Amino acid sequence: MNDTLNNLSPLDGRYREKTQNSRANFSENALIKARLIAEIKWLSYFLTTFKPELIDTETNSKIDQLSKTIPEPLVARVKEIEKTTNHDVKAVELALAEEFKHSEKVQSLIHIFLTSEDINSLSYALMLKNAHVSLLSSTEQVIEELELLAQKNKDTAMMSRTHGQPASPTTLGKEINVFVTRIKKEYASLLKSKFCAKWGGATANYNPHFLAFPDEDWVSHSKDFLKQLDIDLTVVATQIEPHDYMAELFQNIQRINTIILDLNRDIWTYISLDYFSLKMSKNEVGSSTMPHKVNPIDFENAEGNIGLSNAIFSHLSEKLPVSRLQRDLSDSTVLRNIGTAYGYMEIAINSTLKGLSKLEANKKVISNDLEERYELLTEALQSFLRLEGKKDGYDQVKLLSRGQKMDKEMYLKAVEELIENSEYKKILMDLTPSKYIGLAAKLAEMK
């Protein structure tokens, strides 16, 4: 039997192949490697700055080697040691020490002046920074696909629906571009994201640091060290980095997820109206009993997974910045679920992209929906009555049109009887539902 059939989470079972980026960035393997990188980089900084006499050829070679690549056997060794220590970060320290058996003095300096949460805060910052590259890339892909769809349909006049009811016409391209501009705004915020760590020991006061080296500027040392890894220092902290930057990032992602969710629901609705058709895959089954069906499963899949992703991101954002006194342990188990939120998001975005690639606008259906829907022009008619100074213009048009369809003949008759200004009358007489789109075509291209 396939081992994945026994997985509890679909992220590692059914969707294993669809969550490769999230697994690479947030798996237990990735966390251990990030911790090892944090330890080895600090060892290198400390030796170079305070104990350069201990850097012999073998030490230098080992540090260089591990800084470039963390070997899988070392990761396995960490897990093996953890069975005895029952402490994951201590296991990292001990496993790394075995790599420097040639020098007890170097071994003694591994994890010098650090607490586990220094290592953890840096490790999660590194993992999130790595994942950010994929996040930006996937968001860019969604933007690009939507821009193409908007551009392709910028002039496709379409009936709007406000409250689900027929409303003043728009263009399909403009409605798609609404999502483009919303996502771009949040993307701009993502580009400004910062990743932070604390680096001041047990309660972030640099107690042993100052005791051993009272003349050193330890805040500057911490900043310089973290800068090498493109991580910002949280100068004032408790035992843990307060995770406010994580909450800001996760809420930013939630907003992007929510916009994409809104998009998926609109696309699903347009498909149900036959405004979009889906390019068919020969072997894909839409229904187990109705062979004719081509279901919008990609958009449905995206909607469900965005819901799961946002639920987790919401909890992460609310819980992580809260900790009792100088620190409680409740953040630790929660942090391990960051990858789950990213995993569901990865599935959702890829499903959205797959669905968008299948879309083809049914321009004839969209156009037919506008034909003979002259009641959609009543907004224009009552507006021109107002311009003529008729304060009851709205009520006059409401009596003619509310809750009923209006064909061309009825519309022209209303214009003839109600409008006095000849210039206004000509404008309204020449108007058709498909022409009444305002600036929609231009708005479809605005950034």
Residues designated as active site: 163, 287
Residue 219 and residue 233 in contact, taking contact as beta carbons nearer than 8 Å? yes
For residue 310, which of 343, 356, 263 has the smallest C-alpha distance?
Answer: 343
Amino acid present at 346: E
Report d(CA 412, CA 390) in Å as an integer: 19
Report d(CA 363, CA 172) in Å as an integer: 10
What residues are paired with 161 via a beta bridge? 166
Collapsed DSSP state (helix, strand, coil) of residue 231: coil
Report d(CA 307, CA 90) in Å as an integer: 37
Half-sphere exposure of 200 (CA within 13 A, CB side): 21
Residue 305 and residue 347 in contact, taking contact as beta carbons nearer than 8 Å? yes
Q: What is the DSSP letter of 278?
A: E
Report d(CA 379, CA 162) in Å as an integer: 14
Report d(CA 403, CA 62) in Å as an integer: 79
Report d(CA 159, CA 376) in Å as an integer: 8
Report d(CA 147, CA 415) in Å as an integer: 38
Place of tokens 């915020």: 189
Counting Cβ atoms within 10 Å, is residue 291 exposed (0-12), middle (13-18) or buried (19+)? exposed
Counting Cβ atoms within 10 Å, is residue 164 exposed (0-12), middle (13-18) or buried (19+)? exposed
For residue 259, which of 182, 348, 166 has the smallest C-alpha distance?
Answer: 182
Report d(CA 355, CA 264) in Å as an integer: 9
Residue 127 and residue 25 in contact, taking contact as beta carbons nearer than 8 Å? yes
Report d(CA 183, CA 255) in Å as an integer: 9
Report d(CA 345, CA 306) in Å as an integer: 6
Report d(CA 337, CA 342) in Å as an integer: 9
Residue 291 and residue 374 in contact, taking contact as beta carbons nearer than 8 Å? no
